[in-house]
Chains A and B, each alone.
Chain A
């Protein structure tokens, strides 16, 4: 049996008692990757030699192990890893090797994790299916003809198929939560400002957050504990105390006030998804929570606001890819020609589409009508949540309106792809913490339950998720990929 199926707490204990070694874990990870990676396409870069070497060193080292010591992990390829290729899934950064670590990597390296490699993703985080990777698509370990979700699809599929112990993703409009839902794993998007963005290759800076993708809620608490906290290198990092997340996992949710937005349980949500979410709500009620239906009147406008705001920020952030200081360059007749050739050749269709949209909505004459209007609607969406959180502790609903869809099903019309994010985007616009965890299968595919909390109340989100997880029927393992699980 794969060691990596075990929770972090168990692996840590076994390492401490010398029942297993860092080399065992590394070999287990590499074996599983060997069995499944050709089918899944999860890794953009694998450091096999480095993983083995670090494992040997970790086994020789005396001294205290921290909870994440020696655990093999995968990191989404838009997170800077010192001296390890970091492409953000884009051809324009095909040969880019960062000179420094993202702050989250500094935190993890202090814990002596064992970085296996970089996970495939939609180019610059722009996509909901991983079909926008500049390299190759990722497939869902539950059904190889279906997408793993996006943009952190490589991270989610790797955790679901036991290739790594845990992974890091990033979430702008749902990019941690939706792939976690589609692959049947846990994905946590922290509050905007909770985790440093230093070293995260920017997509939409007012929305981007790094977070864990794990096999269970407790593992997510371990990882968040390590990566959360104020960072002077990120001016939007919040100087807020980091509580002890592990100790919040008491299982006690008696008297908890749960709000369920009717907008996420009505039309447009797949009936199989609704059924599983309803059953999860019954579990919460059985545990003593009070569940009530509420309305978030501006939810219907969130996707439209997001697809003006995020591309606007992206068009500005991606102006830096000009073939001068790093990355790919196509020579031209003059400087401007070089810029244009480099960018047209290096960016994929979706990235170009969003740069164009963002440039348009920020351009003179359209700024007020599109960009400013969307920023105002963003305020209305935040206020919807603020009102609900005056009375309720958490908001609960589906993570995505459907289970994993078929490959190529939504690639022709970008709008149909965007509308898959209706349940995650509003939460991103409001900057709130949210987790997705599996709440059963619908026609053999995992359904994601989303639990949303007040700003900086990751503790509450984790507590509710953990309490539900304890009572949930166990999930089977995905079986579309080969090898012994």
Chain B
């Protein structure tokens, strides 16, 4: 087994997903299948191979550090599930 139920629960927590017991069961089986399939890559010797993170030959694309117009605050808040006084509103972060 590449991955256990406990590990699946742990990964879900890292990914901020809450899973039912049925989902844990399902994902454990499916992730095992996929990870077992991925172990095929170990057949290849990649000792002296550089990794490719993306295909273009470019790095550190910079622009002048100048002020530019940005999104309007009221407009931006139009899509917010909850807002107050021109800000996004979320449940309390600290316990009282």
Chain A residues near B (Cβ < 8 Å): 95-97, 99-100, 192-193, 205-206, 232, 235-236, 238, 298, 300-301, 303-305, 307-308, 315, 319, 322-329, 331-341, 343-344, 347, 352-353, 355-357, 359-360, 363, 370, 372-380, 382, 413-415, 418, 429-431, 455
Q: Is the CB of B61 within 8 A of A363?
A: no
Q: Which residues of A contact B52 (CB under 8 A)?
A: 375-376, 378-379, 382, 429
Q: Which of B19, B33, B50, B92 lies in contact with A376, CB distance below 8 A?
A: B50
Question: Which residues B11-45 have CB closer than 8 A to chain A?
Answer: 11-12, 14-19, 23, 27, 30-31, 33-35, 37-38, 40-44
Q: Kindly list chain A residues whose C-beta atoms are within 8 Å of the C-beta of B33.
A: 413-415
B75 interfacial by beta-carbon distance below 8 Å:
yes
A413 to B55, CA, bound (A): 31
Which of B31, B56, B58, B92 is packed against the most chain A CB atoms within 10 Å?
A: B56
Tell me what chain B mostly uses at the interface: helix, strand, loop, or mixed: loop
Q: In the complex, A344→B20 CA distance in Å?
A: 10
Q: Are B30 and A324 in contact (CB under 8 A)?
A: no
Contacts of B71 in A (CB 8 A): 99-100
If A95-B79, A307-B38 are given as contacts, then 11 extra A-B residue pairs at C-beta distance below 8 Å, sorted by A number, are A192-B55, A193-B56, A235-B61, A236-B58, A307-B34, A324-B90, A327-B81, A329-B81, A341-B18, A352-B27, A355-B15
B64-96 CB mask vs A (1 if < 8 Å, else 0) is 000000011001101111100000101111000
B1: chain A residues within 8 A (beta carbon): none
Query: Interface centre among A238, A298, A373, by most B CB within 10 Å?
Result: A373
Which size bracket describes the interface of B in this complex? 35 or more
Please give me the residue from chain A that is nearest to B80 by CB atom. Answer: A325
In the complex, which residues of chain A have a beta carbon less than 8 angstroms from the beta carbon of B90? 324, 335, 338
Give the shortest distance, in Å, between B21 (CB) and chain A (any CB). Answer: 13
| Set of chain B residues within 8 Å of A341, measured between Cβ atoms | 18
User: Do A334 and B75 touch (CB < 8 A)?
Assistant: no
CB contacts (< 8 Å) of B91 on chain A: these are: 331-335, 337-338
Interface residue from B38, B49, B76, B82 paired with A379 (Cβ < 8 Å): B49
Select which of A238, A356, A370 is within 8 A of B15 by beta carbon.
A356
Rounded to whole angstroms, the CA-CA distance of A331 and B61 in the bound complex is 40
* Least CB separation from B47: chain A residue: A376
Point out the residues of chain B lying under 8 angstroms from A356, CB to CB. 8, 11-12, 15, 17, 27, 31
Complex alpha-carbon distance, A300 and B15, angstroms: 30
Among B11, B72, B79, B88, which residue has its beta carbon within 8 angstroms of that of A359?
B11
CA distance A238 to B81 in the complex (A): 36
A344 and B90 alpha carbons, distance in the complex (Å):
18
A301 touches B58 (CB 8 A): no
Decide if B17 touches A353 in the complex (CB within 8 Å).
Answer: no
Bound complex: CA of A347 vs CA of B8, how far in Å?
17
Report the minimal beta-carbon distance from B74 to chain A, rounded to whole angstroms: 10
The answer to whether A353 touches B27, judged by C-beta atoms less than 8 angstroms apart, is yes
Known: A326-B79, A431-B56. A372 touches B51 (CB 8 A): yes
Question: Could you say which residues of chain B place their CB within 8 Å of the CB of A374?
Answer: 38, 41
Task: Please give, as numbers and ranges, the residues of chain A lying within 8 Å of B92 by CB-CB distance.
Answer: 334-335
Chain A neighbourhood of B7, CB < 8 A: 360
Q: Using Cβ atoms and an 8 Å threshold, which residues of chain B touch A455?
A: 55
Shortest C-beta distance, A243 to chain B (Å), equals: 18
Nearest B residue (CB) for A323:
B81
User: Can you identify 8 A-B contacts, CB atoms within 8 angstroms?
Assistant: A193-B55, A206-B55, A303-B37, A304-B38, A334-B91, A359-B11, A377-B49, A382-B52
